[in-house]
């Protein structure tokens, strides 16, 4: 208990999450289900290369439901990304007092108007998005459609809790509707295949049309299974859309690793765009 109090003490210039692994930071800070859903391991893997850069980090859904209190994740991100600006978006008003690097905007993640107001507040597009919002069918896709095309090269987009695509109370069904996050995954598979040069080599022509159209430049798709040893991990899912870093980075061919064939629930999905062209000399 005393260690947690020390970590949370505002008088400390350096917080624990600034230098310890993400999983340990989540355990110390508490107030978030990232560890329960086994998100911390893949997040650590994909956030490692940008952790100490100056990023705009956006979390959609900051915890606490209708309460004005927030969960613990904004605090974790503030300290895990010690040089970044952290933004939280939630449909409910929240009391967020986490210092000058953390700002809160009230808004609906499925509203283009609210997302536009958010982008204006951020003074630029996000480098990292973590969608832990409503999980209602269509909402995650609406946010992705607005934010993803604006993100710079090297950005990371994550969508949590894809399992609600199958839950009727969240607008889901079996099979999951096209407007759901799992429906998005199916579209991303088409998008990856559309960029496969095999279609050209074989004389067939172009591959399947990408769905949605703004993901036409997806280059690779990586799928990881959940960890059944981590509580509800087998019932949870994360999508991470990873835009390659600056031009010059090599683009790996399509690789699918650890496909969860026992259940149609994906733990982590990574999507890559081709690298941005290098500036002409």
Cβ contact 202:193 at 8 Å: no
**DSSP run (H or E) holding 246:** none
The tokens of 124 are what?
Answer: 């630029």
CA distance 72 to 96: 11
What share of residues in the chain are helix, strand, coil (percent, to 5)? Answer: 35, 15, 55
CA distance 16 to 29: 9
CA distance 75 to 61: 13
Cα–Cα distances (Å) from 142 to 129, 159, 184, 189, 270, in that order, read 13, 12, 11, 19, 19
Q: Which SS3 state, helix, strand or coil, does residue 260 take?
A: coil
Q: What are 4-9's contacts with CB under 8 Å, separation 24+?
A: 4/28, 4/29, 4/30, 8/75
Q: Which residues are catalytic?
A: 135
């Amino acid at each position: 208990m005393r260690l947690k109090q020390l970590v949370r003490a505002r008088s400390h210039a350096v917080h624990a999450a600034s230098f310890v692994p993400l999983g340990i930071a989540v355990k110390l800070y508490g107030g978030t289900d990232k560890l329960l859903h086994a998100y911390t391991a893949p997040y650590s893997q994909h956030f490692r290369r940008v952790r100490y850069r100056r990023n705009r980090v956006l979390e959609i859904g900051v915890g606490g439901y209708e309460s004005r209190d927030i969960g613990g994740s904004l605090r974790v991100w503030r300290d895990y990304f010690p040089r970044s600006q952290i933004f939280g978006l939630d449909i409910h008003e929240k009391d967020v007092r986490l210092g000058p690097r953390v700002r809160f905007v009230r808004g609906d993640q499925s509203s283009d108007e609210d997302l536009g107001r958010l982008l204006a507040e951020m003074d630029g597009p996000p480098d990292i998005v973590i969608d832990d919002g409503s999980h209602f069918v269509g909402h995650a896709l609406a946010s992705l459609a607005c934010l993803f095309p604006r993100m710079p090269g090297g950005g990371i987009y994550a969508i949590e809790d894809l399992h609600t695509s199958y839950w009727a109370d969240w607008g889901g069904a079996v099979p999951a509707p096209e407007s759901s996050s799992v429906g998005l995954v199916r579209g991303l598979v088409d998008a990856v295949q559309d960029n496969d040069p095999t279609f050209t080599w074989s004389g067939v022509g172009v591959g399947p049309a990408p769905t949605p159209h703004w993901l036409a430049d997806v280059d690779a798709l990586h799928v990881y299974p959940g960890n059944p040893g981590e509580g509800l991990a087998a019932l949870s899912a994360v999508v991470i859309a990873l835009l390659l870093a600056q031009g010059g980075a090599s683009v790996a061919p399509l690789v699918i690793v650890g496909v969860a064939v026992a259940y149609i629930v994906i733990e982590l999905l990574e999507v890559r765009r081709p690298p941005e062209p290098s500036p002409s000399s």
